Amino acid sequence: MEHTSTLERLIRGVLIALVLLFFLFPIFWIFLMSFQTNEDILRIPPSVLFTPTISNYQALITGKLVTVAGTLDIAFMKNLWNSVLLSTVSVGLALILGVPAAYAFARFKFPLSEDIAFTLLSFRFAPPLLVLLPLSLYYEQIGLTDTYVGLIWVYQLIALPLILWIVRGYFEDISPDIESAYRIAGHSWWRTFTRIAVPLAGPGIAASGLLAFIFCWNNFVFALILASADKQPVTVGSLAFVTASGIQYGQIAAAIVLSITPTLAIALWAQRYLVEGLSLGAVKG
């Protein structure tokens, strides 16, 4: 057993506290800012004590900001909706396409399988612009620029390799004898896949799906290049929001809070899956 002196435990505690302070402070501060009026924000010195207001959120949700100068239309809710739509549909599609494909890669050794796996894997690390910039030119030619379909297709480039990589490992961990036993018991290949393989790979599918959702939600550059204002998700939309005129800082803060809440909520609620997916995806694959 380790004998940790009280001094050491104290130092440990202090260090951890400092670490937590550094990493959690920005989130905390922006959260605070989102409930402040402009006067509160601009006051020096900044203070933790103030009367909170929900006017910033109100403005975002209703889409209208009433100022002295008149009423301003804010389209942030559209951005939020775009994020939700793009992320969920992309991940949903990627799971439907990717899980059977991961099974094929895990169970069958067919020609080209290693090459396809290797290509997808190596492009996970390739610069996205390399694919996006020429793709934007192609999209213009075939009319897919600034469409949900075009974006969901590109988002597959984020979600599919991730899902393939993680879920394949989980399928490979299932003993083939178990699937053989189910088939001998009289069940077709499809039933074996859905009743045996998929449930047993469940944790991996969940982890990869959640991770893929987060990566899609947090993505910036894909939508920056291939979407225009009304299809942009919150990542791009927030940036435009900041540079727009007449917007108050409290609203920017509120927009950021709304934008990061979904992924932070997933992180807190499903952290076990995420950590497993992140570390196993990196180390074990």
Partner 1 sequence: MAQIEVQNLHKSFKTGKVLNGVSLDAETGQIVVIFGPSGTGKTVLLRLIAGVEEPDAGTIMLQGRDMTEAAPEARGVGMAFQNFALFPHMSAYDNIASALTAGPMTAMQIKAKVDKVAALLKITHVMQHAPRELSNGQKQRTALARALVSDPRILLLDDPLRNVDAKLRYEMRLELPSLLKASGSTVLYVTQDYKEAMALGDKIAVLLDGAFVQIATPAEVYRKPASLGVAQLFGDPALNMVPAAPVLRNGAPVFELGGATLAMPVSYAGAAGRDCVIGIRPEALVVEEQPGPGSFPVEVVAVTPLNEKSVLLLRTMDGRELLASEPGDEVASRRHGPACARFDADSILVFDAASGLRIASQLN
Partner 2 sequence: MTAIAAEPVLRRRKTRLLPYILSLPALIVCVGILIPFVTAVYYSMLRFRLNMPAMKGFIWFDNYMSFLSDAEFWNTVRVSLLYTGLTVGFELVFGLIIAMLLQKRTRFNNMASILLLLPLMTAPALAALMWKLMTNPNFGVLSYLVQLLGVTDFKWASAPGSALFTVVLVDIWVYTPFIMILLLAGLRSLPRQPFEAAALDGVPRRFVFFRITLPMLMPYMMTATLFRLLDAIQQFDIIYSMTQGGPGNTLLVFQVRSYLEFYQYTNVAKSATLLVILWAITYALSNVFIKQHLKLRERARGLA
Binding flag, residue 110, partner 1 (CB under 8 A): no
Question: What is the rounded distance in angstroms from the CA atom of residue 52 to the CA atom of residue 63?
Answer: 20
Binding flag, residue 153, partner 2 (CB under 8 A): yes
**In this structure, are residues 276 and 203 in contact, taking their beta carbons and an 8 Å threshold?**
yes
Binding flag, residue 187, partner 1 (CB under 8 A): yes
Question: What is the rounded distance in angstroms from the CA atom of residue 107 to the CA atom of residue 195?
Answer: 16
Binding flag, residue 220, partner 2 (CB under 8 A): yes
Q: What is the dihedral of CA 212, 217, 221, 227, to 10 degrees?
A: 120
Residue 252: Cβ within 10 Å count:
21
Q: How far is the CB of 202 from partner 1 (least distance, A)?
A: 8
Choosing from 79, 145, 192, 235, the residue that interacts with partner 2 (CB under 8 A) is: 235
Residue 269: Cβ within 10 Å count:
11
Q: Pattern of binders to partner 1 over 127-156, x per CB under 8 A?
A: ------------------------------
- From 111-119, 161-169, 184-192, 253-261, span contacting partner 1 (CB under 8 A): 184-192
Q: How far is the CB of 11 from partner 2 (least distance, A)?
A: 10
Binding flag, residue 182, partner 1 (CB under 8 A): yes
Binding flag, residue 203, partner 2 (CB under 8 A): no
Binding flag, residue 191, partner 1 (CB under 8 A): yes
The two structure tokens encoding residue 249? 């800082």
Under 8 Å CB-to-CB from 60, ≥6 apart: which residues?
74, 76, 77, 251, 254, 255, 258
**In this structure, are residues 38 and 250 in contact, taking their beta carbons and an 8 Å threshold?**
yes
Binding flag, residue 90, partner 2 (CB under 8 A): no
Binding flag, residue 236, partner 2 (CB under 8 A): yes
Question: What is the rounded distance in angstroms from the CA atom of residue 132 to the CA atom of residue 103?
Answer: 29
Binding flag, residue 278, partner 2 (CB under 8 A): yes
Binding flag, residue 77, partner 2 (CB under 8 A): no
The two structure tokens encoding residue 119? 């290509």
Binding flag, residue 16, partner 1 (CB under 8 A): no
Under 8 Å CB-to-CB from 255, ≥6 apart: which residues?
60, 76, 234, 237, 238, 241
Binding flag, residue 199, partner 1 (CB under 8 A): yes
Question: What is the rounded distance in angstroms from the CA atom of residue 83 to the CA atom of residue 165?
Answer: 24
- From 51-59, 144-152, 194-202, 262-270, span contacting partner 2 (CB under 8 A): 262-270
**Which of partner 2, partner 1, none interacts with 15 (beta carbon under 5 to 8 A by kind)?**
partner 2
Binding flag, residue 282, partner 2 (CB under 8 A): yes
- The residue ranges that bind partner 1 (CB under 8 A) are 175, 177-178, 180-189, 191, 196, 199-200
